[in-house]
Homo-oligomer: A and B are copies of this chain.
C-alpha cells in the first residue's frame, strides 16, 4: 500500500515522452509545455493559471496536455524545478563559506521574488527535481564548512534558508499585489499606511514602528527591504559563528 502513495513527478511520475527525432517540430513535448506554463504563471499568477488557459496558449485542446503529464500538480512541479534552475550556485571554494551563504541566500531570494507563484509550491511539494536537488547539495556542502557542530548543521540550514523563504515569499507577494492593483510599491505602501492609520486597532502600532522605520532609513520600499535583508543575513552569519563552539 505504501508503494501506491504518489510522492512527486520526479519519483513516481511518468517520464517525459521522447520526441521522435524525425518529427517536423510543431508538435508538443514536455519542454514546450513547461516553458509555456512558466510563462503563464509569471504573467498571470498561480490563481489564474489553468489547464484550459495553458492549452489555449499552446493552440491546442484542453486534453492534449494530459498526454504528456498526469495531473496539473505534476505540471506545477515541473515548472517549479525549471525556475529553480535560475539559482546561481557558487563554485566550491575551500574557505569562503560566508560569501557562499550570502551568494546562495541572495540568489534564492531573487528567484522567489521573480516568480512569486513558487512559494506555495515549495511548501506543497517535496521539491526533489534536479535543480532543487543541486541547490540542496550546495546548501549542504557550504554548511559542513562553517565549523558548526554536525548536530547543528540541519538547524543552521533551516535558520538561513527558511528565513530567506519567508522573506522572499512576503516580498514577492507584495510586489505582485501592487502590480495587480496597478500601483508602484511605494504608492501601494502609502495607500495601505494611510488606511491602517485610519483604523483604531492598528494606528498605535504604526506610530510605534515609525521610529524604527526612520532609523533604518531608505527612500523607497525596495531600499528598506534590501537593508533589512542584508542586516538579517549578517545577523545569521554572526549567529553561525557564535554557535561554532557550541556542543550539544
Prevailing SS type, chain A contact patch:
helix
Query: Which residue of chain B is the closest to A172 with respect to CB atoms?
Result: B123
Answer yes or no: A40 CB below 8 A from chain B CBs: no
Question: Quick one: CB contact mask for A124-167 with B, threshold 8 Å, 1 for yes?
Answer: 10101010010011001100100001111111101101111111
Q: Taking A196-B11, A212-B150 as contacts, is the C-beta distance between A231 and B156 under 8 angstroms? A: yes
Q: Taking A152-B231, A166-B165 as contacts, is the C-beta distance between A208 and B137 under 8 angstroms? A: yes
CB distance from A114 to the nearest CB of B (A): 16
Query: Contact between A213 and B162 (Cβ–Cβ < 8 Å)?
Result: no
Q: In the complex, what residues of B have CB within 8 A of residue A191's CB? A: 2, 5, 7
Query: Which residue of chain B is the closest to A144 with respect to CB atoms?
Result: B212
CB distance from A47 to the nearest CB of B (A): 9
Cα A188 to Cα B2 with chains together (Å): 8
10 pairs, CB–CB < 8 Å, chain A vs chain B: A11-B198, A119-B123, A126-B192, A140-B209, A151-B216, A154-B224, A159-B163, A162-B170, A237-B239, A242-B242
Instruction: Give the 9 A-B residue pairs with the shortest CB-CB distance, closest first.
Output: A239-B239, A155-B231, A162-B166, A150-B215, A238-B242, A159-B232, A165-B166, A166-B166, A235-B239
